[in-house]
Amino acid sequence: MAAAKKSTTAKEPAKAETTKKTAAISKKAAAQPVKEQKPAPKTETKKTTTGSSAKTAKPIKPTKSAPKAEVAPVISNLKSKTYPLSSLPTFPISKRPDNRKNFNAIWEILSQVYPKPDIELDFKTPFELLAATIMSAQCTDVQVNAVTKVLFPKYPTIQDYANANPAVFEKEIYSTGFYHTKTKHIIACAQIIIKEYDSKVPDTMAELVKLPGVGRKTANIVLARGYGIIDGIAVDTHVKRLSNKLGFTENEDPEKIEKDLMKLADKKDYDDLSLTLIFHGRRVCNAQRPKCDICQIQELCPSAFL
């Protein structure tokens, strides 16, 4: 404390000196005739959907099942509202305020923006869905689809996967990343399913999570989108990030986040909620640069513009 006080006092003579100089400059300036100022040239800026100016704002890319026309009305409702940055409170990233009371309002808006969300992975059978979901870890759905477009016709049955040559298979799925582990898991899954489940991908959470490389996220996806069975909520990286940003959970662990979300959502909406948060995370609330200025739920989000 003593050191801090000393340092403040030491600055005072210099400050007095600066004040004197400033006063002298002001007097001199007052004596000068005032020059007419030219108007500043106009700079071109793009208008965002909320009416504010921003060069980075881009329109939302429509999803397969969410055409642009259906997105527009929700955004236009928020057009007249602006959010001055200075008036917004700031919170540490890890401690968003509890915003569970706004879950229903946020869900209502997002379900209009992304009506009937559908999985973006291509598949025809539950095993293809299982394999594609395993391959999608740390990889984009677009890249997985590019790989499976060639892979699936080459391996038409589950027996083909069980008998696959690992070295060849690794090369075939190389571009999805982590190809060594993914190959091991997909081939082992096929062998176990043939041996223990009569070649049919199991349709219960308890059985699915026993398969190698299959956690609750993958199991929820296979159950919901392969069999139409709703058990829980698939929590991937987007669902995790958005659940925290939106103040629906304080947890980092996907299983705890899933439980928190299951307390908020109706069971019938579990799968749609997961896909909707994934779509919003990909199209608007990006990890690196969230597009809060065009976000349809900015009014209800405790992380807006932070």
Query: Which residue, 66 or 147, has its beta carbon nearer to ligand SF4?
Result: 66
> Closest Cα to residue 243, out of 108, 56, 98, 138?
98
Mark out the alpha helices in the chain (DSSP H runs).
2-31, 68-77, 103-113, 126-135, 141-154, 158-162, 166-172, 179-196, 205-208, 216-221, 237-245, 254-264, 270-283
> Minimum Å distance from CB 85 to ligand SF4?
12
Query: Which residue, 131 or 285, has its beta carbon nearer to ligand SF4?
Result: 285
> Minimum Å distance from CB 80 to ligand SF4?
17
Q: DSSP state, 47? A: B
Contact letters for ligand SF4, residues 246-285 (x by CB under 6 A): --------------------------------------xx
Contact letters for ligand SF4, residues 212-251 (x by CB under 6 A): ---------------------------------x------
Q: Segment near ligand SF4 (CB under 6 A), from 54-62, 111-119, 128-136, 291-299?
A: 291-299
Query: Which residue, 107 or 179, has its beta carbon nearer to ligand SF4?
Result: 107
Instruction: List the structure tokens of 296.
Output: 């349809």
Binding residues: 285, 292, 295, 301
Q: Segment near ligand SF4 (CB under 6 A), from 71-79, 119-127, 185-193, 294-302?
A: 294-302
Widest CA span of the chain, in angstroms? 97
> Minimum Å distance from CB 243 to ligand SF4?
11
**Is position 48 an interface residue for ligand SF4 (rule: CB under 6 A)?**
no
Q: What is the DSSP string of 89-150?
A: ----TT-PPP-GGGHHHHHHHHHHHS-S----S--SSHHHHHHHHHHTTTS-HHHHHHHHHH
Spatial distance between the Cα atoms of 145 and 135, rounded to a whole number of angstroms? 10
> Token pair 């509890």 is at which residue?
98
**Is position 295 an interface residue for ligand SF4 (rule: CB under 6 A)?**
yes
> Minimum Å distance from CB 221 to ligand SF4?
23
Burial 111-145 (b: 16+ CB within 10 A, else e): eebbeebebbbebeebbbbbbbbbbbbebebeebb
> Minimum Å distance from CB 78 to ligand SF4?
11
Q: Segment near ligand SF4 (CB under 6 A), from 7-15, 136-144, 269-277, 296-304?
A: 296-304
**Is position 304 an interface residue for ligand SF4 (rule: CB under 6 A)?**
yes
Binding residues for [4Fe-4S] cluster: 285, 292, 295, 301
**Is position 60 an interface residue for ligand SF4 (rule: CB under 6 A)?**
no
**Is position 290 an interface residue for ligand SF4 (rule: CB under 6 A)?**
yes
Q: What angle do CA 174, 179, 185 make, to 5 degrees?
A: 140
Spatial distance between the Cα atoms of 298 and 284, rounded to a whole number of angstroms? 11
**Is position 110 an interface residue for ligand SF4 (rule: CB under 6 A)?**
no
> What are the catalytic residues?
217, 236
Q: What is the DSSP string of 261-278?
A: HHHHS-GGGHHHHHHHHH
**Is position 99 an interface residue for ligand SF4 (rule: CB under 6 A)?**
no
| Residues that bind ligand SF4 in the complex, under the rule CB under 6 A | 245, 284-285, 290-292, 295, 297-298, 301, 303-304
